[in-house]
Structure 1
Amino acid sequence: MTLIKWRIIMLIEQLKKVTLVAQELGLKQPTVTFHMKSMEEEWGMPLFEMKTGRILLTDAGRRLHRYALKMLALQEEAAREMRLRGGSRKRLSLLADAACSSIMASFAAFALEPAGYGIEWLRIEEGSGMHADIRIRERQETADADWLPLPDADLRLAVSREWAQAAGIQAAQAALESGKPWIAPAAGTRLRSQILTWAAARGLDLEEGHAVPDAVMAASLAAAGLGVAVVPIFSDPRFAQAATCVLPDPGRMLLLPLNGIPPYRLELKLGAGVPSEARLAISSWLQSPPE
């Protein structure tokens, strides 16, 4: 399965017309039809069916659609990570032990760019946390002098704009009560704990459909209609700009307020080996007044 085939499955579910799918992809209609037949041959079962002038996914096609969304979300994440690395030969390693790693990686890339540095984005599972030049984590209960607090983020419920408009959803609680599965943060994160505490206080029983390690991936899946997700939104324009580079297109997603939930808080630590010009770039970026 190629990325173009995964995109065709996703777009058939959204648009239900081969001509519209072809236009969206910039392909000719026979090319899209060829890929559709090729997929059915590859999987050995019908994936598409014609009903009342529309092309719909069969049961097997809908099952494959779930994987298409995940594959495309991973592809988007890979593209973001490669962009964040930048063209600089000088790199600092970043470990963002938080549920919004992509946004924090984007922030670091913005802050370091004036000093001529790019980032090497490490993963928790790589076991490189102790060697990272820059570490970002969810803020701890006890203050630590070595860690710098970052601006707070409001938490919003991300839903597919198309689904919300069709369902008439205007409030976060109504969206969570609609039966759409919850795209949850990873177990053990403070973000997950905040969401569950908020939901329990309102008698909401969240049905977990997926668990993903990063809020941007969760937002991408929500924008594609796979469920609902809670994402941190920074009012500080510097962080908002960094988030804009990695979050899904606002035209695909609505962000509904979660009334009464505490802000999401993060903190940053610079390693002893961070060069002075890079240290100054990040410190200046954090201390500069928001525009």
Structure 2
Amino acid sequence: MELRHLRYFVAVADEQSFTRAAERLHISQPPLSRQIQDLEEELGTPLFERGSRPLKLTEPGRFFYSHATRLLEQAAQAARATRRVARMERRLVIGFVASTMYGALPRLVRLFRAALPQVEIALEEMPTLDQIEALKSGRIDVGFGRIRLEDASIKREVLREERLVAAIPMEHALAIPGKPIILAALESQDILVYPRKPRPSYADQVLSLFRDQGLHPAAVHEVQEIQTALGLVAAGMGICVVPEGVSRLRPDEVIYRALSDPQAVSPIIMSTRLHGQNEDIATLRALIDRIYQEQAEARQRAEATRAAAVDKPV
């Protein structure tokens, strides 16, 4: 089996016609039909329902199509990467979930550009679930997400557990600035979660926090984007549980209260291909440690300053 067999098969499946597929491939129809027949003989099963109009895949054909398209994409990615290496080009593509953009990610990108100005860096927002497939297909090189998913070909590292906070409408009875709150206090409230899809997602993390404590929100409203959720909070439509880094958004319309429950955390997970480590990813990982160390030192200084203010004689 060769890559051309996969290209021919995918073209016929996409076009649902040998005639149109031959035109797309710029070959005549008889050789195309013979190549598909050879492929079916090698696999030991028909891939198309020959009597159907338009042409339909058999059940084995649908299964093979999903793998064939992935293999062709991986081959194309390998060719692109090889051409970049031949031209001494370096590029790092990062996939991320929206909430990480409000934390350390912008500073990480700035530091990386300063450390390796010769490396082109690109950012693509995508759910954690999509990051896994994007890593496997070569569309991205690193992913930052929040969902614990296992895949034998992906290396995943929990960088930190970020505290969660409740985003509360400004006029709500629970909107008490600066005072922590327990999750049970949100029972019987309307809760906004995101994203609506794909699932599992951060929405499921939040809902499991309620379920684990036997808590029942009055209603659960699913939206797709974090900005939409916070906009609805500002409009008084409900309360949303978000990562602490998000609390910079809408400060004049939303009150953020830290959740004091020990389990009210969300992981920040870095994902890479198991065998796709290189010096650029190593540099990125070292910069993450630097940022977290700076943040820890800043918190220690702030705590020392507060303690000194308390101890200072009046």
Query: Highest relative contact order (Cα 8 Å, sep 6+), 1 or 2?
Result: 1
TM, length-normalised to structure 1: 0.50
- TM-score of the two chains, using structure 2 as the length reference: 0.47
